[in-house]
Amino acid sequence: MSELLHLPLEALHVELGAKMVPFAGYSMPVQYGLGVMKEHLHTRAAAGLFDVSHMGQVILRGADYQAVAQAFEALVPVDVAGLGLNRQRYGYFTNQAGGIEDDLMLANRGDHLFVVINAACKDADIALMRAGLPAGVTLEVIEDRALLALQGPLAEDVLAGLNPAVRAMRFMDVADLDLAGATCWVSRSGYTGEDGYEISVPADAAEDLARALLSDERVEAIGLGARDSLRLEAGLCLYGHDIDAHTSPIEVGLGWAIQKVRRTGGARAGGFPGAARILSELDGKAPRARVGLLPEGRAPMREGVELFTTAEGGHPIGRVTSGGFGPTVGAPVAMGLVARDHATVGTQLYGEVRGKRLPVTVVTLPFTPANFKR
């Protein structure tokens, strides 16, 4: 553990009874006293506080926002130039083969672009941006701020107790707000499928903010275990599992993140790595598709389980990319990548678990409907 990086709030996590585990090079809380199941259900019913300070926070500056946005569009298939002031958008870095190098969130902050990247890809992403952006764009890695996420149907009511202005924010709005005496960069977004906020707070003020939120009886500290089961039920991809350098955005169902202006026939079509494959699949059909999977019985099907069309014999037509127990669903749930011909809802497949093939049905994603504030 001594070689791991430590979160600004590690002492608080330990005080709260967290079980700390290595994750993406950091010592991270995987669960607290409630346990994963109750933490998951509490987030769905009230409000959960997550420490996601291991994520990378980056600011890009140039002559003006448009200069930065147009430069950034050479790295992502997303409409960055058309993003409204103080609005946030989901995107991803692509490679020349049309795969995904990482997924990310980006926000137009007027005089700069604010980008949040995954912890496990942080160094690679920063190197990618430094190599791919022109000399007129500067990159600043933010290392003196923590990142907290308050998620759940009561998140708005809780956070409004610290600053009522959060009520006016829509899904994917971004604002600078005072919370517990600190100026925070707040977005109405998250990774659970629930309404909520992600809050970038100065590291030296993070404990005061966390304690202020946790003092509300509607809030519980939530660890990585429940964060994973929540995002799985919400049908959200996890980098390195459901998406990676070999999966195209189209086959994993992320084509919606490519706005019309970047598609074939659009004013700024293409111009990003892997555009030929990605736009071709967007205009036609990708050979594989990400699907929801509902195993029979109570045993989860984990990542890596191979999928077949028959109970015996034949060759695998796909594999499970994420799987576990869905506390809200009350049953095992999974996502997988399968040959498109076998991706129709209702199709029965078989997952091979310890040499035995068990039935699993292709279902619609997400398993739990999104609860975002539009």
249-259 exposure pattern, b = at least 16 Cβ within 10 A, e = fewer: bbbbbbbebbb
Domain spans, the chain: 5-53+144-233, 287-374
pLDDT at 12: 98
**Mean pLDDT confidence for 115-134:** 97
What pLDDT band is residue 247 in, cutting at 50, 70 and 90? very high
Q: What's the mean pLDDT in 266-281?
A: 98
Cα gap 243→240, rounded to integer Å:
6
Segment 99-127 mean pLDDT: 97
- C-alpha separations of 339 from 287, 294, 342, 347 in Å: 6, 17, 6, 12
Q: CA of 141: how far to CAs of 92, 118, 133, 187, in Å?
A: 18, 13, 15, 19
Structural tokens at position 283 = 């205009």
For 312-363, how does the pLDDT look when each residue is reduced to its tens digit (9 = 90+)? 999 999 999 999 999 999 999 999 999 999 999 999 999 999 999 999 999 9
pLDDT band at 141 (very low <50, low <70, confident <90, very high): very high
pLDDT for 285 equals 85
Looking at the predicted structure, is the pLDDT value of residue 242 above 60? yes
Buried b / exposed e over 220-242, threshold 16 CB at 10 Å, is bbbbbbbbbbbbbbbbbbbbebb
Instruction: Specify the amino acid at residue 238.
Output: L
Run of H or E including 116: strand 113-117
pLDDT tier for residue 284 given thresholds of 50, 70 and 90:
confident
Tell me what pLDDT residue 195 has: 98
State the pLDDT at residue 104: 98
SS3 190: coil
Q: What is the pLDDT of residues 302-312, one digit of tens each?
A: 999 999 999 99
**For domain 287-374, is the CATH number 2.40.30.110?**
yes
- Peptide bond between residue 29 and the one before it cis (omega within 30 degrees of 0): no
| Residue 301, φ and ψ in degrees, nearest 5 | -105, 120
- What pLDDT does residue 2 have? 57
The whole-number pLDDT of residue 257 equals: 98
pTM of the model: 0.96
Cβ–Cβ under 8 Å, residues 307 and 355: no
SS3 state at 324: strand
Beta-carbon contacts of 226 under 8 Å, excluding residues fewer than 6 positions away, are: 31, 36, 37, 39, 40, 43, 48
**Residue from 99, 102, 204 nearest 145 by CA:** 204
Q: What are 6-43's pLDDT values in tens digits?
A: 999 999 999 999 999 999 999 999 999 999 999 999 99
Question: What is the spatial distance between Cα 150 and Cα 217, in angstroms, rounded to a whole number?
Answer: 14
List CB contacts of 114: < 8 A, sequence separation 6 or more. 57, 58, 59, 106, 107, 174, 185
Q: Report pLDDT for 1.
A: 46
Which whole number is the average pLDDT over 229-253?
Answer: 98
Bridge partners of 147, per DSSP, are 200
Q: What is the mean pLDDT of residues 250-262?
A: 98
> What pLDDT score does 120 carry?
94
Quick one: fold of 5-53+144-233? Answer: Gyrase A; domain 2 (3.30.1360)
Sign of CA dihedral 238, 241, 246, 247: negative
Q: What is the mean pLDDT of the chain?
A: 97
How many percent of the chain have pLDDT more than 90? 97
Q: Comparing C-alpha atoms, which of 86, 85, 84, 103 is closest to residue 94? A: 103
User: What average pLDDT score do residues 124-131 get?
Assistant: 98
Closest-CA residue to 278 (of 249, 307, 303): 249
The Cβ of residue 151 has, within 10 Å, a number of other Cβ atoms equal to 28
Type and span of the H or E element at 57 = strand 56-61
